Structure formats: structure tokens, C-alpha cells
């Protein structure tokens, strides 16, 4: 067993809680090359971070993330803070020789993302690793989908159909939380959930979006100011209103090369859809369908089955031979949302231990950022827009 991997985490809201559950669990479920230690939690409010550290299981806490850089007992910095601080923290951490796991979207702008890629690239030379946290890649059904596509199970890809539907701000009285302010969040549905379906469809198909045509809409243009910005669940109690400066919904068409076409939609106004990440890929030999609200299932249609028996097969992705699942329970015993983070932690720890680069890399995340940027520009100009390629 090698030395323990000592983790520091910045941020302790929704994402911080999910990552903490992963760090607490990963040692005990997987046979890791290095044990994980939850060393220190960082946050802006000294009081709040102290409480969070206790609750979430971190040994220490600090209200200044810069102190983490100098500590010898921190090997990895896990960034769960809002997007506007990703670049600064990640670049500093990498420069300090700390491995970095950074939540998606990588940054609030392409420029920031580029500087993060440069930092990661520089650090890589000295064995420092950087990874972006697109956790949905680690849903076993999604990993299986990728594998089946790579194995040719659906043949030549024709169509990508992706939507990420939520409804948490349908109520116009829902307050103006940070996720609805462009200066903090960068964008609305686009960066928050649209980023996931861009990454996920590129991941499973092995293709990139090359050109997009988008529209965005903000249905509710002003909202009550929140008393405090406590994440998704904050309730407004103020009579003051502020402008919503991000998109409530984004819709776009895409080309993915070689004639592959796609429709994409991300919205927070699809009443009744709670975390409706839905992806369908049609190929010349079959189709695969994933819906996060039934995350333990993958639908598969194969033209190679006997003609009279063809149909959509609901694969319950809980068999020990399915990706990530040998560590968990017997078949039919479901796993949940948080497990995606445990799988992510597993893959990251193993990559670090083995001296390999974890994926998605910062460069992968920059490419997603370039897609989001093209989408945003397309929506502004009402024109088909090419996705920039990094040289």
C-alpha cells in the first residue's frame, strides 16, 4: 500500500456534500492503491466551514484556501466552489504541485479555461494531475453506453438526441440565487446542465460537436432577492427584486461530423422533470437510450437480434460485470446519484497512484467550454456558429 492521498476541498454546499460522501466511501468500497485522507475543508465563512467540516467528516478546516497551497499534508485540491473562482484556485494549486479535481464547468470563460489548461499542462511535466468533474460519465449505465458504442453495437452513428430537463425555478417567486447571476455562474442552464449533455454525448459517441445553432430564453426576467445564497434550496424572503442575467433554457441543433446530427436542450422550466438528463443515440445497427431519473437502466435496441424478438431491452446495469458495479451490491440492488462521485474519486486516485492522466482532462473540459461558447455566440447572433478548435 502506498502513501495516503491527502485531500483538501474548497466549497461545501451541494457539490461539497456529494464529493465528501465520495471521499468518505471510496476507501471502503474499492481496493485502492492509496488510502484517501480527508485532510482539510476550506470555505469563506470561518463559522460555516467549521460546522461543515464536522458534519462532512473533514479532519481540519480553514477560511483561506491559499493556506492549502503551502501545506505538506495536502496532495490534492478538490474545487467545489462556484465557477468564478475555479481558475484562480486551480492554477495556484497546480503551481503549488497539488493535484486538482475541479468541478464542471471548468471555468466561466474560454480565456480562463485556456489558462487552466496551460497550468495543467505545465504541472503535468512534474507528475501533477488535473481532472474536471463531469460526474455523469461515471454512471455505470453511461459508461456501459460508451463501451457498447465503441464496440460497434449500434453501428454508424446517425442521431444524437440530448436533453437535460429540470424544473426548480418554474415558480417565479423562487429567489435570485447565485446560479441565476451571470457574474457568478457564467451562464444559466447552459453551463450548469447543458455542459453535462455536451460532455456526455461527446464522451459516449467519441465525437465532437463542430457547429451549432442555438436559441436561449429567460422566461422569468426578474426575481426576488434571496436573504442568503444557500444554493438550490434557498427561499426568497425579500421584497426586493433583481434581474435574472442568465438563460433559463437553451436549445440547439448541432453537427458532429460525418453527417451526424443532434438536438440539445437544457432547461430549468420543464415542469415535472426533476433531473431529467436524457440521451438517445441512433446508429445504423441499433439505439441506446439513457435517462438519469432511471439511472440504473440502459435501453438498447439491436437490429442484430432475431427479427421477431427485436425491441428496446431495459438493461438493469447492476451486474458485477457492468462498469464500476463489482464493488457494490448484488444484481438488482440499485445505486444512487452520489455513487457517480465515488466512482470518479476511484478513477482519480487510481490514475494518480499509477502515474496516469485522469479523464476528463482540463483540455477535454476546455473543449466543452468551446462548445458552450459557440452555443452562447450562436444564440446571440442567431446564426450557425462553428466550434473553435484548440491547436
With CB under 8 A as the contact rule, which of the stretches 64-72, 207-215, 355-363, 364-372 interacts with a copy of itself?
A: 207-215
SS3 state at 7: strand
- The residues that bridge with 78 in the sheet, in sequence order, are 9, 101
With CB under 8 A as the contact rule, which of the stretches 66-74, 190-198, 258-266, 358-366 interacts with a copy of itself?
A: 258-266
**Residue 377 beta carbon to a copy of itself: minimum distance, rounded to whole angstroms:** 14
**Residue 388 beta carbon to a copy of itself: minimum distance, rounded to whole angstroms:** 18
Site for a copy of itself in 320-379 (CB under 8 A): 320-322, 329-339
Closest to 368 in 3D by CA, of 146, 243, 203, 158: 203
**Residue 379 beta carbon to a copy of itself: minimum distance, rounded to whole angstroms:** 10
Binds a copy of itself (CB under 8 A): choice among 56, 90, 123, 266: 56
Binding letters toward a copy of itself, positions 156-175, x by CB under 8 A? --xx-x-x-xxxx-x-----
With CB under 8 A as the contact rule, which of the stretches 96-104, 191-199, 201-209, 215-223 interacts with a copy of itself?
A: 215-223
**Residue 127 beta carbon to a copy of itself: minimum distance, rounded to whole angstroms:** 28
Binds a copy of itself (CB under 8 A): choice among 121, 124, 210, 313: 313
With CB under 8 A as the contact rule, which of the stretches 108-116, 123-131, 184-192, 245-253 interacts with a copy of itself?
A: 245-253
Q: How many residues bind a copy of itself (CB under 8 A)?
A: 100
CB 19 within 8 A of CB 48: no
CB 130 within 8 A of CB 159: no
Binds a copy of itself (CB under 8 A): choice among 232, 235, 243, 356: 232
Distance CA 20, CA 7 (A): 10
Which H or E run includes 211?
strand 211-217
**Residue 251 beta carbon to a copy of itself: minimum distance, rounded to whole angstroms:** 5
Pairing of strands 36-42, 297-302: unpaired
Q: How many CB atoms lie within 10 A of CB 356?
A: 11
Distance CA 372, CA 29 (A): 36
Task: Please tell me whether residue 239 binds a copy of itself under the rule CB under 8 A.
Answer: no
Binds a copy of itself (CB under 8 A): choice among 146, 182, 208, 294: 294
Distance CA 300, CA 154 (A): 9
Site for a copy of itself in 117-156 (CB under 8 A): 144, 148, 153-154
Helix/strand/coil (H, E, C) string of 67-78?
HHHHCCCCCEEE
Q: How many CB atoms lie within 10 A of CB 313?
A: 14
Q: How many CB atoms lie within 10 A of CB 279?
A: 25
Select 228 or 310, whichever has its Cβ closest to a copy of itself: 310
Select 114 or 273, whichever has its Cβ closest to a copy of itself: 273
Select 292 or 362, whichever has its Cβ closest to a copy of itself: 292
Select 53 or 100, whichever has its Cβ closest to a copy of itself: 53
Extended strands (E) in 136-235: 157-165, 211-217, 222-226
Task: Please tell me whether residue 229 binds a copy of itself under the rule CB under 8 A.
Answer: no
Which H or E run includes 14?
helix 14-29
Burial class (CB in 10 A: 0-12, 13-18, 19+), 359: middle
Select 54 or 127, whichever has its Cβ closest to a copy of itself: 54
Amino acid at each position: 500500500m502506498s502513501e495516503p492521498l491527502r485531500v483538501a476541498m474548497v466549497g461545501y454546499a451541494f457539490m461539497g456534500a456529494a464529493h465528501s460522501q465520495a471521499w468518505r466511501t471510496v476507501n471502503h468500497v474499492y481496493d485502492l492503491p492509496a488510502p484517501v485522507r480527508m485532510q482539510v475543508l476550506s470555505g469563506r465563512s470561518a463559522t460555516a466551514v467549521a460546522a461543515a467540516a464536522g458534519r462532512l467528516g473533514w479532519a481540519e478546516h480553514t477560511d483561506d484556501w491559499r493556506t492549502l497551497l503551502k501545506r505538506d499534508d495536502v496532495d490534492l485540491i478538490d474545487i467545489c466552489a462556484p465557477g468564478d473562482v475555479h481558475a484562480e484556485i486551480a492554477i495556484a494549486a497546480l503551481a503549488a504541485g497539488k493535484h486538482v479535481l475541479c468541478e464542471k464547468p471548468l471555468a466561466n470563460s474560454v480565456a480562463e479555461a485556456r489558462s487552466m489548461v496551460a497550468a495543467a499542462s505545465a504541472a503535468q511535466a512534474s507528475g501533477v494531475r488535473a481532472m474536471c468533474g463531469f460526474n455523469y460519465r461515471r454512471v455505470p449505465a453511461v459508461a456501459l453506453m460508451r463501451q457498447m458504442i465503441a464496440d460497434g453495437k449500434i453501428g454508424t452513428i446517425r442521431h444524437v438526441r440530448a436533453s437535460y430537463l429540470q424544473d426548480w425555478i418554474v415558480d417565479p417567486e423562487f429567489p435570485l440565487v447565485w446560479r441565476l447571476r451571470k457574474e457568478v455562474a457564467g451562464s444559466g442552464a447552459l453551463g450548469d446542465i447543458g455542459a453535462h449533455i455536451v460532455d456526455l454525448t461527446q464522451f459516449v459517441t467519441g465525437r465532437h460537436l463542430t457547429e451549432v445553432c442555438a436559441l436561449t430564453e429567460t422566461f422569468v426576467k426578474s426575481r426576488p432577492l434571496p436573504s442568503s445564497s444557500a444554493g438550490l434550496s434557498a427561499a426568497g424572503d425579500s421584497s426586493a427584486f433583481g434581474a435574472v442575467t442568465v438563460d433559463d433554457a437553451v436549445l440547439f441543433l448541432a453537427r458532429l461530423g460525418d453527417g451526424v446530427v443532434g438536438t440539445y436542450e437544457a432547461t430549468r422550466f420543464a415542469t415535472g422533470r426533476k433531473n431529467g438528463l436524457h440521451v438517445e443515440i441512433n446508429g445504423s445497427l441499433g439505439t441506446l437510450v439513457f435517462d438519469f431519473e432511471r439511472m440504473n437502466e440502459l435501453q438498447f435496441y439491436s437490429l442484430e437480434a432475431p427479427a421477431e424478438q427485436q425491441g428496446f431491452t431495459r438493461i438493469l446495469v447492476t451486474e458485477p460485470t457492468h462498469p464500476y458495479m463489482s464493488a457494490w451490491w448484488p444484481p438488482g440492488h440499485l445505486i444512487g446519484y452520489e455513487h457517480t462521485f465515488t466512482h470518479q474519486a476511484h478513477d482519480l486516485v487510481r490514475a494518480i497512484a499509477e502515474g496516469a492522466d485522469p479523464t476528463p482532462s482540463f483540455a477535454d473540459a476546455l473543449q466543452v467550454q468551446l462548445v458552450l461558447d459557440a452555443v452562447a455566440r450562436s444564440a446571440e447572433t442567431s446564426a450557425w456558429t462553428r466550434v473553435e478548435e484548440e491547436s
